[in-house]
Structure 1
């Protein structure tokens, strides 16, 4: 008798053939999506995000398995402003089978400067085993993993399967998912599911799958430090009048200790066992320059998964080319703080605000605004869905999955759990350590893409038989 955690050989073989045979079409469809510059940030043309939503909706409709496919938008917070368009496709379960919700996002990060890329960011380009382009991995490959897995399921078991499906492809994840909460309430009945697969994470390496079980939360904000009512000549008043840049630099330095570990009282860490990950691997994967030492204390992965981190991601100040001999009256920076899973983002934001105000040098005025934050999450690994997912990964990759944390944040997962507390969450992905998501030369390893599609196809087929 077949073990409940063993996929029937004939089913697995058929799924392998379907995924392999469909891979060229999947890559072509992904490339078409990458060509659409669907940056969801407010400074970019929203027509491109709408075009991307239309393309995803057409792909979902073309599967021929959904009862309904729609493009929908929800308001942001208590305002009347609409968020970016999302695609929602649904199919009711039959004969007592479970319903699975498949999530990804079709919006992308801004590309940055073209000259920082080896090929144009929105012209998908294959070099070696990788497909380069903005969104090629994060997260249009997640979108296509869902589409391609459903195609393989249909080819293998036919279109009249009993598994319930909901496909939710968000359009503003890279801009903070600001309408996400309202979208969940607006479509609560259609999104309800027994299992939720979030295809927006990474893998251990290109040959080893990972199931993400811990995610840090985030707090981001603009910090403005002011010391003068107006700019003054640095030669006339420098050395007596504190300019804003001096105050800012001294204030920012208080956020870390001499090891580079976060030194803000009230930001928590959690104990967590981590796999072996030598500093040499960090040097390679994070591209540390020769002679540069890692920061923080504890195991490398504990620093990335279960401890806070603070990064200054932007600064508004005169450029070097435009610098004059002037004491600056005000300077603003953008701060991104990652917080340990389990700590509430509002609690972390309050701790950061308190620290900055208490440590402001020279009586400098401190203002904090434009806050965005999201809670982290710890996955319950005892549910049957985790076992099913790890079996599917082993079938598709030929290796056991590694349970990992993630240094980045996917704060909307906490919203999903709040609205659907009974659903089991599976955080999977198509990325690898060389993907460079959010950076120039973002890329997708095509072997990982292949195995990610097969993993999900096996998972869908197993749940259809469950």
Structure 2
């Protein structure tokens, strides 16, 4: 079949081809998963490099002639590959990342974290979903139009596979600037999100931003005897507790003035499902106010992710001179990290008790994202997803977490349509033990992406 006619492939043909290709796609995914490309671990930098090289070989096997590993000094290796399409066809940039989160305690895993293991309807391993399955989905979609069937893709394709997403994409802005012309595309597909549920696809249209700070309070120059000075001199732990408590009201809603909130998509999140997927215990009450999806997607949220204070075991009878906490503030789409950081800092300075010395240190930030999900590219995507999921239309979904690099793509390529898709589902457990890829949903993702490429060519 010629490249002029691949845009005419029927949905049934695409679906049958994907089913035929799945064993090979899965085999390539499993080979990638076995590479311990943990970008946060300097001792495994060679594994990150090996992962990039494995991706290069996969693209070359698909007929990409222009394939290269690129990096910025101090950054991890990324892969860029390009394959031109028919004259006049759009160019589609397909993004994923080949680095993974640390696996942490192996004892928490039911099978070795870097040995892909099928149990039930899932394939378990670190990176099986986040985000080596994104790479495999891109490859699978292209193989639908591959030489095995005598075809070529109906659109131009650029692959961009990042190597440091799990450590904050620090050098990504410079990479995008340096390779802007090579990466320029009409449509950008970022496969690093997920779907609403098993059997219900989604397009991610909003993501919260992130402001992380370390907060330290000091009340003493050195520790002193609690019996001699307690009742007069405040200790730092007590001061920190009072400060942190001031961030929330009795309902658990934030009291920080100046943070933005907004409406969310009209999506129902049933109580039973919410409790099961969140892992909340049977009697725990939800915090905050407003619709559930607004609290999860379009309202700010603050989590205390770490504390530095003396351990309970072995603690002495002294007043602690200092105490520290790490705060993770998720900011709503429509807010900025600059404004949110200023609001958080002003609140902490206003509420630090008893004249304690306060130090606020910014750890990192990432902007929130709101995507205008209208236009021909989104129409093509919605049609592709609906076909792939047998008539179930995709949900416009928000994400409470942050993918700051999406804002970088929107800024660098303002004329491109950016589609945020992915392979994850509510029980993927990305970043945690027993990360798992739902295999049937993964096959639908490949079908959907192939149909998207076909639709974009039309």
Other-structure match for 2:20: 21
Runs of at least 5 residues in structure 2 that lack an aligned partner in the other structure = 1-5
**Counterparts of residues 438-457 of structure 1 (less than 5 Å):** 438-457=431-450
What is the CA–CA distance in structure 2 between the aligned matches of 1:441 and 1:393, rounded to whole Å?
27
- Of 333, 336, 360, 2:352 maps to 360
What is the CA–CA distance in structure 2 between the aligned matches of 1:104 and 1:41, rounded to whole Å?
17
| 1:332–1:57 Cα change, 3 Å | farther
**Counterparts of residues 197-216 of structure 1 (less than 5 Å):** 197-216=189-208
Kindly provide the CA deviation profile for residues 234-266 of structure 1, in whole angstroms up to 9, marking residues without a partner as x.
Answer: 343333322222111111111111111121111
**Counterparts of residues 44-443 of structure 1 (less than 5 Å):** 44-64=43-63, 66-75=64-73, 82-155=74-147, 158=150, 160-398=152-390, 399-443=392-436
Matched, 1:32 2:31: yes
Q: Cα distance, 1:8 vs. partner?
A: 8.2
Q: Cα distance, 1:9 vs. partner?
A: 8.3
What is the CA–CA distance in structure 1 between the aligned matches of 2:120 and 2:358, rounded to whole Å?
50
Other-structure match for 2:3: none
Name the SS of the counterpart of 2:157 in structure 1.
Answer: strand
| 8 Å contact from structure 1 (residues 274, 302) kept in 2 | no
Q: Cα distance, 1:317 vs. partner?
A: 3.2
| 8 Å contact from structure 2 (residues 7, 454) kept in 1 | no
Q: Cα distance, 1:442 vs. partner?
A: 1.4
Q: Cα distance, 1:43 vs. partner?
A: 5.4
What is the CA–CA distance in structure 2 between the aligned matches of 1:153 and 1:325, rounded to whole Å?
71
| 8 Å contact from structure 2 (residues 265, 397) kept in 1 | no
| 1:237–1:120 Cα change, 3 Å | farther
Q: Cα distance, 1:370 vs. partner?
A: 4.2
| 8 Å contact from structure 1 (residues 184, 191) kept in 2 | yes
What is the CA–CA distance in structure 1 between the aligned matches of 2:36 and 2:313, rounded to whole Å?
30
Instruction: Give the CA RMSD over aligned residues.
Output: 1.9
Runs of at least 5 residues in structure 1 that lack an aligned partner in the other structure = 1-6, 76-81
Q: Normalising by structure 2, what TM-score?
A: 0.94
| 1:106–1:326 Cα change, 3 Å | farther
| 1:272–1:370 Cα change, 3 Å | closer
Q: Cα distance, 1:203 vs. partner?
A: 0.7
| 1:461–1:256 Cα change, 3 Å | same
Q: Normalising by structure 1, what TM-score?
A: 0.92
| 1:352–1:287 Cα change, 3 Å | same
Name the SS of the counterpart of 1:222 in structure 2.
Answer: strand
Kindly provide the CA deviation profile for residues 125-174 of structure 1, in whole angstroms up to 9, marking residues without a partner as x.
Answer: 11100111221111111111111111222157645445111111111111
Q: Cα distance, 1:461 vs. partner?
A: 2.2
Kindly provide the CA deviation profile for residues 25-84 of structure 1, in whole angstroms up to 9, marking residues without a partner as x.
Answer: 2222222222222222255532221122122222122211x2311111124xxxxxx211
What is the CA–CA distance in structure 1 between the aligned matches of 2:236 and 2:223, rounded to whole Å?
10
| 1:155–1:227 Cα change, 3 Å | farther
Q: Cα distance, 1:271 vs. partner?
A: 2.3
Q: Cα distance, 1:395 vs. partner?
A: 1.2
Other-structure match for 1:78: none
What is the CA–CA distance in structure 2 between the aligned matches of 1:330 and 1:45, rounded to whole Å?
35
More deviation, 203-212/253-262:
253-262
| 8 Å contact from structure 1 (residues 95, 162) kept in 2 | no
| 8 Å contact from structure 1 (residues 18, 155) kept in 2 | no
| 8 Å contact from structure 2 (residues 265, 396) kept in 1 | no
